[in-house]
A and B are shown apart, each in its own frame.
Chain A
């Protein structure tokens, strides 16, 4: 069935370093790929997304890249700060964009 795989499950970086989280998806028809950040005890919040007609999108310190041929996409956070510490989920749409499936999540810890 449709699935999204996400790696790594945990990631620890020093403040100021970069962090990269990678995801792969199974359905070549998927065309929307969001990233959500979930802080402890809070709801997931969209931080950036990308559609299949572009290969890269950037918003200040965060960027997402998409390789449709290889069916993988990545989240890049530069100049990490302690407040970036959270669980990050990638997702992809399936079933003609009616369903969204999430990766298993990456717990990012930014050490001051």
Chain B
């Protein structure tokens, strides 16, 4: 499976500021996914980051709040903009297994735990 490096691993942020999370993969992948995991909750898909096109956002998530970049096939960023305490969460990037029959298998980064004061 792919090796994913995600940073920062954690941060404490002030209300109203923005933070960018980076996700680096050791292999080229067509799609990268960004999930949010609120405390004690499940994983919710925020958006799919596609190389060479705009990210596709899920219902309830908008580009102005969670802008995403995907400059190449191994890297993506997620920005959490104008943060409020409700944005305190773990944000995880994930990628599908490289090619073949395992294409749906997702590997997750270690996550970025954000606390907004």
Contacts and interface: CB of A to CB of B under 8 A. Distances in A.
B42 A100 contact: no
A89 B26 CA distance: 26
B71 to A, nearest CB: 21
A94 to B, nearest CB: 10
Contacts of A98: 31, 48
B62 interface: no
A46 B59 contact: no
Contacts of B44: 102
Interface in A11-45: 32, 34, 42-45
Contacts of A46: 105-107
B73 interface: no
Interface residues of A, number: 20
Interface stretch (B16-24, B77-85, B108-116): B108-116
A99 interface: yes
A105 B42 contact: yes
A97 B48 CA distance: 12
Contact of B106 (A1, A34, A103, A105): A34
A16 to B, nearest CB: 28
Nearest to B106: A100
B16 to A, nearest CB: 28
Interface in B89-111: 92, 103-111
A100 B45 contact: yes
A108 B111 CA distance: 22
A101 B42 CA distance: 10
A104 B42 contact: yes
Contact of A43 (B41, B45, B48, B111): B111
Contact of B104 (A1, A43, A93): A93
B33 interface: yes
A100 B92 contact: no
Contact of A102 (B43, B103, B109): B43
Contacts of B48: 98-99
Closest 5 CB pairs of A and B: A32-B104, A43-B108, A102-B43, A102-B42, A104-B42
Interface of A: 1, 32, 34, 42-46, 49, 89, 93, 97-105
